[in-house]
Amino acid sequence: MNTLKKLSKQPIIGVFVKVIIKLVANFQAKKIASHFSAYLQPVIAHNEYLKEKSFGIRHNVYCEELGFEECNEDKQEKDEFDIHSIHCVMQHRSTKRFAGTVRIVYSLGDKQQLPLEKYCLDSIDHPTLNPVNFPRHKICEISRLAVPNEFRRRQSDKFKGAATGAINENEYSEKELRCFPFIAIGLYMSAASIAMNKEIEHAFVMMEPRLARSLRFVGIEFQQIGPVVDYHGKRAPFYISSQMLLDGLTPGFKKLFEKVREELDIQVCGDPEILDGIKIPNL
């Protein structure tokens, strides 16, 4: 696959190589989707215990590993936007360990800004794809995606949004190891599923352009709406709508998305108020 990626940058043959890469990724996705849910489960962090697990992963990645935020004694990375956010974690079924987290920051009024609006609004130069142009209850921001070292592919990797780094190969089966690089994609799909359940149509995210290019190979077509700025590294504002996501997913990754949605829909059906962001059910 690395060789194909290098060839994809070459003139003339690059276009054809990109098609091959997509076909390979799609084939992989079909295999992964068939057993993804056997090893990994997206879970809405609907209580304090699960939220603490989410904040703990964020502290590990954003504070201890990357130094984007200050470390604290509680080892919980939190901010003002968590109050109007829905948090999701990815759980490894057999060990019950948590393999990643993501949050969906929503807004119910002008006083509830998205992180991008508070810190990077000037970086958006698109004439129409701007949070201020949409009803507040129809927008969200996907942020704080993090995957702990244990569930990454290479020890040398740092968290880049795609979140592929080191894994303990002696502890997990071969099939499980093949699932782990899809954790970040599964988290994005979890965020999208939650947003759709809340009837949110427009999602924004600050990410590295190369991560957006990687996601494009699986059919997640984020649209860049501004230049690269220095915000927790070199990042740019991106936009995607629910329709863009559904239209862009390749068949293999659409199957994976359906698996993720099924898992989360069961949780929502069990407690319709789980996505209110206010009610905290007991364990």
Q: Is the confidence at residue 138, as pLDDT, over 90?
A: yes
Residue whose structure tokens are 């590993």: 65
Q: Is the confidence at residue 103, as pLDDT, over 60?
A: yes
Looking at residue 168, its pLDDT comes to 42
Q: With bands split at pLDDT 50, 70 and 90, how would you rate the model's confidence at 233? A: confident
Over the chain, what is the mean pLDDT? 81
Cβ atoms 226, 1 nearer than 8 A: no
Looking at residue 105, its pLDDT comes to 97
The predicted model gives 123-133 an average pLDDT of 95
Q: Among 32-41, 106-115, 168-177, 239-248, which is the least confidently predicted range?
A: 168-177
Q: Bridge-partner residues for 87, per DSSP?
A: 103
The predicted model gives 218-240 an average pLDDT of 91
Q: Is the confidence at residue 3, as pLDDT, over 60?
A: no
Looking at residue 136, its pLDDT comes to 96
Looking at residue 185, its pLDDT comes to 86
Q: Which residue has the higher pLDDT, 237 or 153?
A: 237
Q: 101 φ, ψ to 5°?
A: -150, 160
Q: Among 54-63, 124-133, 172-181, 202-211, which is the least confidently predicted range?
A: 172-181
In tens, the pLDDT along 83-94 reads 999 999 999 988
Looking at residue 7, its pLDDT comes to 44
Report the distance separating Cα 158 and Cα 258, nearest Å. 29
Percent above pLDDT 90 for the chain = 51
Q: With bands split at pLDDT 50, 70 and 90, how would you rate the model's confidence at 175? A: low
Q: Which residue has the higher pLDDT, 188 or 214?
A: 188
In tens, the pLDDT along 25-70 reads 666 666 767 767 788 899 999 999 999 999 999 999 999 998 989 9
**Packing angle of the helix pair 183-197, 251-270 (nearest 10 deg):** 50
Looking at residue 183, its pLDDT comes to 86
Class of the 39-275 domain? alpha beta
Q: With bands split at pLDDT 50, 70 and 90, how would you rate the model's confidence at 2? A: very low
- Secondary structure of the chain in the HEC alphabet? CHHHHHHCCCCCHHHHHHHHHHHHHHHHHHHHHHHHHHHEEEEECCCHHHHHHHHHHHHHHHHHHCCCCCCCCCCCCCCHHHHHEEEEEEEECCCCCEEEEEEEEECCCCCCCCHHHHHCHHHCCCCCCCHHHCCHHHEEEEEEEECCCCECCCCCCCCCCCCCCCECCCCCCHHHHHHHHHHHHHHHHHHHHHHHHCCCCEEEEEECHHHHHHHHCCCCCCEECCCCEECCCEEEEEEEEHHHHHHHCCHHHHHHHHHHHHHHHHHHHHCHHHHCCCCCCCC
Q: Which residue has the higher pLDDT, 141 or 152?
A: 141
Q: Which residue has the higher pLDDT, 208 or 56?
A: 56
Question: How much is the pTM?
Answer: 0.80
The domain locations on the chain are 39-275
Residue 48 to residues 42, 140, 279, Cα–Cα distance (Å): 17, 22, 11
Percent above pLDDT 70 for the chain = 73
- Burial level of 11, CB count in 10 A (0-12/13-18/19+)? exposed
Residue 196 has a CB neighbour count (10 Å cut-off) of 16
* Among 232, 212, 214, 234, CA closest to 222: 212
Residues 6+ apart with CB under 8 A from 127: none
Looking at residue 91, its pLDDT comes to 94
